[in-house]
A and B are shown apart, each in its own frame.
Chain A
């Protein structure tokens, strides 16, 4: 629009900065939008320039990655014991959530889960003994993510635990995740008292064989289809899994006995572990695409928040994990909360969870926001993603696909951080869940990833 055309048009203003200027425009009834501006992330200008120069190459790689993510076909194909299927699992290995971590740096809930897992595996007879064992070099700790697996909250997975086997039919790769224990005192929040261990044994001896048979009977369960439907029914399959769990229940019910049916019926989050494994199977297929700036992992271990990019191989980029803004259960406050923990942010990495929260207004209300806030959160995430989903849709946004494929370049350029909704663990082991909340990923891992990514860019 030329200057003279501007003189003949209605003035419409974007005000970036001082809000008082917007007030003047409001008084004059001029259409105006206020931008809550934030300074861009402070990264080396030379690297920004380098990334700009490579942008066409990066765009091409990212298109490829998004294509792989969108074509993912995660299916539940069976169940097995961890040691029998998870690559690299040994009898003295414990897998955990998030980026690599030593026993010394583990947060309370993760330590509690490790103790519980060692009691469950009968490698220790008392919690004290388990702690001594964990601190010795006899137990190897390794991130789930490095074994095609994921685990919610502490994510501790031990050799005898039964796991779901999810196959990405499009590329043939597998992903694994333990079964959800329900709410209350549970291992994933670091509880290890006798009833917790008893429940794990029940899951191994009763739930596992029944479910295994049921899945075998139906052949396979199309998880992508269930997730797509659940999004239309008010789930975002991270913090709300009520619809997805019901859909799964309906699929398997004919072959399940009353005891198992009652267990699944009483656990709205039963599907969470499947939505995580489905996301993991989908994203693992997109690893290792040269020059791609898209994330394939976001995960937290309760101490650090770590990410991995498709274009930077298996390198973790980490920074301290934040404490979520949460609605705390009566009697608890933020000072009781553990920093963000769990592999469940894999759902956000896959365009679900916080990225799809506009599909699940009920849980925004749960943490004190409005339905409108939910829509705004999702809208903002389109700013930092490389694509939109073809199957996962938001009804409220006219069935627009969810924002999918987090692009680290956009995150850094716009200083908009991925939005995650999550449960909150007590910082002491064994207390359990004390709230649910939302938070933005911390900046540091993204900054580090951006810098390394810029340096590894190669032509051709």
Chain B
């Protein structure tokens, strides 16, 4: 039997119509079908192919007709009913509310608000979300401290999460939020007060074949005295209760001593293994912490720290001239710059000093061993973050390579959603240029499932002449041993 429908004045592009026609032709019981504009020619063709229905009589050039020849009425009906869904265009007519309450009319059971508006407004929006019983991820920075404390106290009382302010990344229920990497799901839960630190450990875990249950960011200020680690401890408690989580990994810059005390007390009540990595305070690196968590999650002992391979270091040192003596680290991730300072130890200058490093006089001019955090405000005001916009760092790479005292340039490359979509294209040119005079050592934070694909980036950077290490820590150690071999 033949049946049909007419849609007056419905315009679709041929790609859509072809797809819809094909899909209904393939449905059970359908012998033949066509979805075309009812022009005289098309009607003649429909007639010739036995698809012309009397319903099409009055349809004209601007009307869409759907013709179905089927074995039974039921099959024809099913096919026609499917057409609407197939024709529906996504996004184009989607309704866009202007505030949270409007959004909740559309998605009444939303359970998380991801907020990235200007800091002075973000706090109020976050409070509205909490009042509506939602968890909050606050990507925005510059939220006043008092506001942060008020939000977190309010949330803690109601068992809600406030991730941030200045929380760049989190992974909840396997969903990457904001600047996150696409990692395996698994049984390691992370609480982190350091954004790039969280990205680094979650990627290393994923690349080692293990996976993440939940990764909760808290924002760096959470572990300071004023906030008192409210959310860090809430996150820890939630991970302790979570059945999917077998091992807990904590990542942070060193917390305030009073906060550390509270965290330690909390950890003692937990019966799962807890790996802590307080950058600068503990002797371990992000990589070691991540691999320890991986081993524990598999019921194995933590791995021994392998002695660094000095062969590459000697080879690179051999290529350098007499005056080339120093490391120049150019970081897009603040956590990486901090970790590098700890690992390189004495005699380091930085624009964001930590540990034993000294303050660099002029952030635009390196002296001796210099490690620069390009994510600091002095570089980012009025321009995108260096993980997105490579132009500033690329210029600096060439500048450092020109400096006759530079022996090694140390870089981090961060992949994932939100980061630059093609870092290989951004970097290969300058790396090739720099490698003519200096050694370039870098690490790539990311996975093969990231939109940029870690392996592809790695191959491209190696081809350009860079030495690509598996982690930031490994890259820093190699840079350190190259200058020791000089």
Tell me if chains A and B make direct contact, with any CB pair below 8 A: yes
Question: Which residues of A does B touch, CB under 8 Å?
Answer: 1-4, 6-7, 9-18, 20-21, 24-25, 28, 30-40, 370, 372, 376, 379-380, 383, 414-416
On whether the beta carbons of A13 and B113 are closer than 8 Å, the reply is: yes
12 A-B residue pairs with Cβ-Cβ distance under 8 Å, sorted by A, are A4-B241, A7-B173, A14-B107, A14-B134, A16-B114, A16-B116, A21-B178, A33-B103, A35-B100, A39-B117, A372-B93, A416-B99
CA distance A12 to B133 in the complex (A): 13
Give the chain A neighbours of B45 by CB distance below 8 A. Answer: none
Task: Write out, one digit per residue, whether chain B residues 297-316 have a CB within 8 A of any chain A CB (1) or not (0).
Answer: 00000000000000000000
On whether the beta carbons of A4 and B112 are closer than 8 Å, the reply is: no
On whether the beta carbons of B97 and A3 are closer than 8 Å, the reply is: no
Give the chain B neighbours of A372 by CB distance below 8 A. Answer: 93, 95
Query: Given A6-B135, A33-B107, are A16 and B100 neighbors across the interface (CB < 8 Å)?
Result: yes
CA distance A11 to B106 in the complex (A): 15
Give the chain A neighbours of B114 by CB distance below 8 A. Answer: 13-17, 21
Give the chain A neighbours of B106 by CB distance below 8 A. Answer: 33
Lowest 5 CB-CB distances: which A-B pairs, in order?
A: A17-B116, A3-B238, A2-B159, A18-B116, A17-B117
Query: Given A21-B178, A37-B117, are A13 and B98 neighbors across the interface (CB < 8 Å)?
Result: no
CA distance A441 to B176 in the complex (A): 40
Give the chain B neighbours of A33 by CB distance below 8 A. Answer: 97, 103, 106-107, 110
On whether the beta carbons of B234 and A35 are closer than 8 Å, the reply is: no
Q: Which of A10, A15, A28 contacts B176 (CB 8 A)?
A: A28
On whether the beta carbons of A14 and B112 are closer than 8 Å, the reply is: yes
Query: Given A4-B242, A14-B104, A383-B102, are A39 and B159 neighbors across the interface (CB < 8 Å)?
Result: no
Q: How large is the interface on B (under 10, 10 to 19, 20 to 34, 35 or more residues)?
A: 35 or more
On whether the beta carbons of A35 and B97 are closer than 8 Å, the reply is: yes
**Cβ distance A339 to chain B, nearest Cβ, rounded Å:** 25
**Cβ distance A388 to chain B, nearest Cβ, rounded Å:** 14
- The verdict on B177 contacting chain A, using a C-beta distance below 8 Å, is yes
On whether the beta carbons of A380 and B98 are closer than 8 Å, the reply is: yes
Give the chain B neighbours of A34 by CB distance below 8 A. Answer: 94, 96
CB under 8 Å from chain A, chain B span 104-136: 104-107, 109-118, 121-122, 124-125, 129, 133-135
Q: Which of A14, A24, A380 contacts B103 (CB 8 A)?
A: A14
CA distance A2 to B237 in the complex (A): 12
Give the chain A neighbours of B242 by CB distance below 8 A. Answer: 4, 7
- The verdict on B417 contacting chain A, using a C-beta distance below 8 Å, is yes
On whether the beta carbons of A25 and B175 are closer than 8 Å, the reply is: yes
Give the chain A neighbours of B117 by CB distance below 8 A. Answer: 16-17, 37, 39
**Cβ distance A37 to chain B, nearest Cβ, rounded Å:** 5
Q: Which of A2, A9, A13, A39 contacts B121 (CB 8 A)?
A: A39
- The verdict on B36 contacting chain A, using a C-beta distance below 8 Å, is no
CA distance A189 to B122 in the complex (A): 46
CA distance A34 to B160 in the complex (A): 22
On whether the beta carbons of B175 and A11 are closer than 8 Å, the reply is: yes
CA distance A370 to B95 in the complex (A): 12
**Cβ distance B173 to chain A, nearest Cβ, rounded Å:** 5
CA distance A24 to B116 in the complex (A): 14
Query: Given A3-B161, A4-B242, A11-B111, are A28 and B99 neighbors across the interface (CB < 8 Å)?
Result: no
Give the chain B neighbours of A383 by CB distance below 8 A. Answer: 99, 101-102
On whether the beta carbons of B112 and A35 are closer than 8 Å, the reply is: no
- The verdict on B214 contacting chain A, using a C-beta distance below 8 Å, is yes
On whether the beta carbons of A9 and B102 are closer than 8 Å, the reply is: no
Given contacts A7-B238, A24-B178, A30-B175, 7 further A-B contacts (CB under 8 A): A2-B238, A12-B110, A14-B100, A14-B104, A33-B106, A35-B100, A414-B98
- The verdict on B3 contacting chain A, using a C-beta distance below 8 Å, is no
On whether the beta carbons of A20 and B111 are closer than 8 Å, the reply is: no
On whether the beta carbons of A414 and B93 are closer than 8 Å, the reply is: no
**Cβ distance B254 to chain A, nearest Cβ, rounded Å:** 25
On whether the beta carbons of A35 and B139 are closer than 8 Å, the reply is: no
On whether the beta carbons of A7 and B112 are closer than 8 Å, the reply is: no
CA distance A39 to B94 in the complex (A): 22
- The verdict on B196 contacting chain A, using a C-beta distance below 8 Å, is no
**Cβ distance A57 to chain B, nearest Cβ, rounded Å:** 21
**Cβ distance A44 to chain B, nearest Cβ, rounded Å:** 15
Query: Given A3-B238, A14-B114, A21-B116, are A36 and B98 neighbors across the interface (CB < 8 Å)?
Result: yes
On whether the beta carbons of A12 and B177 are closer than 8 Å, the reply is: no
**Cβ distance A365 to chain B, nearest Cβ, rounded Å:** 11
CA distance A372 to B241 in the complex (A): 46
On whether the beta carbons of B100 and A11 are closer than 8 Å, the reply is: no
Which residue from chain A places its CB closest to the CB of B120 in the assembled complex? A39
On whether the beta carbons of A40 and B121 are closer than 8 Å, the reply is: yes
On whether the beta carbons of A39 and B118 are closer than 8 Å, the reply is: yes
On whether the beta carbons of A28 and B134 are closer than 8 Å, the reply is: no
- The verdict on B172 contacting chain A, using a C-beta distance below 8 Å, is yes
Give the chain A neighbours of B353 by CB distance below 8 A. Answer: none
- The verdict on B140 contacting chain A, using a C-beta distance below 8 Å, is yes
On whether the beta carbons of B107 and A35 are closer than 8 Å, the reply is: no
Task: Write out, one digit per residue, whether chain B residues 399-418 have a CB within 8 A of any chain A CB (1) or not (0).
Answer: 00000000000000000011
On whether the beta carbons of B95 and A376 are closer than 8 Å, the reply is: yes
**Cβ distance B218 to chain A, nearest Cβ, rounded Å:** 12
Give the chain A neighbours of B93 by CB distance below 8 A. Answer: 370, 372
Q: Which of A14, A31, A414 contacts B129 (CB 8 A)?
A: A14
On whether the beta carbons of A3 and B160 are closer than 8 Å, the reply is: yes
Give the chain A neighbours of B453 by CB distance below 8 A. Answer: none
- The verdict on B244 contacting chain A, using a C-beta distance below 8 Å, is yes
Which residue from chain B places its CB closest to the CB of A2 in the assembled complex? B159
Which of A15, A16, A370, A416 is the most central at the interface, judged by chain B CB atoms within 10 Å of its CB? A16
